[in-house]
Amino acid sequence: MASFERASPALKEILLRIYRNHSHNQCCSCHYSAEKPIEVDHHLYEFGSVEYHIKSSASAPQLTYLSISTPLLTQGVLLSYGLSPYTTQMVREISTDVLEIVEPATEGYQLTLRLDFSKIPRGKDSLKVITEVSSVQSIILSSQLKEMLQSVNSWDASQGMYKPIKLVYHPREPFYVIRQPHKIVAVFPMRFKDYSDVIIATSFFQELMDVGSSEKWAKAPPCNWSPIPPAELRGEPLEDLSTNGGFVSFDISSRHVEGKRLDKTVWSLLNFYAYVKHHVKCTRGFIQRRMRRRLESLVEVLQNSSLEDDRHIRKFQENAGWQYMKKLVKLSSKSKILKRSCRDFTRKIMRIRFRIKIHGFGRFRRRWLTMLKFSSSKGYTKLE
């Protein structure tokens, strides 16, 4: 997933910049101060293997081409090739005036859109349209899930139960949807690499169950966590059911899929894994920060125990007399201390270098072996 927001922030910023440049040029077209239209060719890569390509040429500044490549939602072993007509219809409905699907798509991308910025309404509506265009990836995924839920009949007459539909977005994180007459059950098998992640996530799932079961959140879908696979997943392959984080299930009723809530619900379900992983990562960071802060306060206690001793002795010595006070508390400035230490260091080096002392050699060296100074103290060389 690109981010928890439906609209990609980076894509939105780029499109806004292009739009503002275009609308500024339009306003200033009668003056000579209009800026030259710029060529745009951006490649954006986002978390979750999502890739965008934004291209705009100077010859047609009002047109921008946006290509998208995103992993598609697959149904178990059935791979999804390209976008279904339902998905392309949902994309077209973002804005029929502004947006047009280009066939065929640019090579390496699943979808290419031609955006006509001249058709974007002025004012606050422009931001709304651009935000909706930036959320095209979320629309593709959501419409895929909606289509799957609407078209598939999961009633298995032979077993007398509703068969779970396995949906795969990320290869290692499949989840199940069981479509029943009055509700849809979404089951997420949770897996983590680290044992501490399992514990943090488990405490989060327990809080999720507690919050969901309270009266205040009665309208939210009931949430359930269990360490063992739920009964609905009976018969599924063992490798899909072996987890270390248990199983989280949500009961989605008709109330959660009415009108505008359908998009939100679908997006929340698709993002659940990323949400949990993000929370676990932030909690680990929080624990680390807190431990660092606590370390400083713990060490301070020990340091104070030895410092208090020093202070006690110094107080005694102060009382002993003014002479002792003068010796102990040196009032020389920092620069003098630095000069003194440099001088001591230089002397030490000279002592090490000139180990063999010849009596009188020093005077001989100073008289005959010193380099003549060619620069005069007057700052110029007098020619004779």
Partner 1 sequence: MANTLRLYLTCIRNTLEAAMCLQNFPCQEVERHNKPEVELKTSPELLLNPVLICRNEAEKCLIETSINSLRISLKVKQADELENILTKKFLRFLSMRAEAFQVLRRKPVQGYDISFLITNYHCEEMQKQKLIDFIVQFMEDIDKEISELKMSVNTRGRLVATEFLKQFI
Interaction between residue 13 and partner 1 (CB under 8 A): no
Nearer to partner 1, 111 or 274 (CB): 274
Q: Cα–Cα distance between 345 and 27 in angstroms, integer?
A: 71
197-236: contacts with partner 1 (CB under 8 A):
199-200, 202-204, 206-208, 210-212, 217, 219-221, 223
Is the Cα torsion angle 189, 195, 197, 203 positive or negative in sign? Answer: positive
Q: How far apart are CA 201 and CA 191, in angstroms?
A: 10
Largest CA distance in the chain: 119
The least CB distance from residue 58 to partner 1, in Å, is 42
Least CB distance from residue 298 to partner 1, whole Å?
6
- Name the minimum Å distance from CB 141 to partner 1: 16
Of the candidate residues 275, 345, 354, 361, the single one contacting partner 1 (CB under 8 A): 275
Q: Which of residues 112-151 bind partner 1 (CB under 8 A)?
A: none
Contact residue for partner 1 among 32, 81, 195, 322 (CB under 8 A): 195
Nearer to partner 1, 178 or 198 (CB): 198
Residue 200 CB, nearest distance to partner 1 (Å)?
A: 7
Sheet with 99-102: list strands edge to edge: 40-46, 50-56, 63-69, 111-116, 99-102
Q: Write the burial class of residue 206 (CB in 10 Å: 0-12 exposed, 13-18 middle, 19+ buried).
A: exposed
Which of 175, 187, 156 has the alpha carbon at shortest distance from 73? 175
Phi and psi torsions of 306, nearest 5° = -85, -35
Encoded tokens for 310: 């020093």
Sole residue written with tokens 């006690």: 312
The candidate with the shortest Cα–Cα distance to 245, out of 194, 185, 169, 170, is 194
Q: How far is the CB of 207 from partner 1 (least distance, A)?
A: 4
Q: If binding is defined by CB under 8 A, does position 262 make contact with partner 1?
A: no
Shortest Å distance, C-beta 290 to partner 1? 6
Q: Which two tokens stand for residue 354?
A: 């000139």
Q: How far is the CB of 104 from partner 1 (least distance, A)?
A: 36
Residue with Cβ nearer partner 1 (88 or 283): 283
Of 112 and 265, which has the nearer Cβ to partner 1?
A: 265
Surface-to-core class of residue 268, CB atoms within 10 Å of its CB (0-12 exposed, 13-18 middle, 19+ buried): middle
With binding defined as CB under 8 A, does residue 256 bind partner 1? Answer: yes
Residue 197: in which H helix or E strand, if any?
A: helix 195-212
**Distance in angstroms (rounded) separating the CA atoms of residues 354 and 349:** 9
Give the C-alpha separation, 85 to 143, whole Å: 10
In the chain, the N- to C-terminal Cα span, in Å, equals 84
Hey, which residues between 281 and 320 contact partner 1 (CB under 8 A)? 282-283, 286-288, 290-291, 294-295, 298-299, 301-302, 305-306, 308-309
Quote the least distance from Cβ 229 to partner 1, whole Å.
21
Q: How far is the CB of 194 from partner 1 (least distance, A)?
A: 10
- DSSP 3-state helix, strand, coil percentages of the chain (rounded to 5)? 50, 20, 35
Please identify, using beta-carbon distances, which residue of 286 and 361 lies nearer to partner 1. 286
Number of residues that bind partner 1 (CB under 8 A): 43
Q: Is residue 268 at the binding interface for partner 1, with CB under 8 A as the rule?
A: yes
- In the complex with partner 1, which residue's Cβ is closer, 109 or 204? 204
Residue 265, SS3?
helix
Residues in contact with partner 1 by the rule CB under 8 A: 195-196, 199-200, 202-204, 206-208, 210-212, 217, 219-221, 223, 256, 261, 264-265, 267-268, 275, 279, 282-283, 286-288, 290-291, 294-295, 298-299, 301-302, 305-306, 308-309
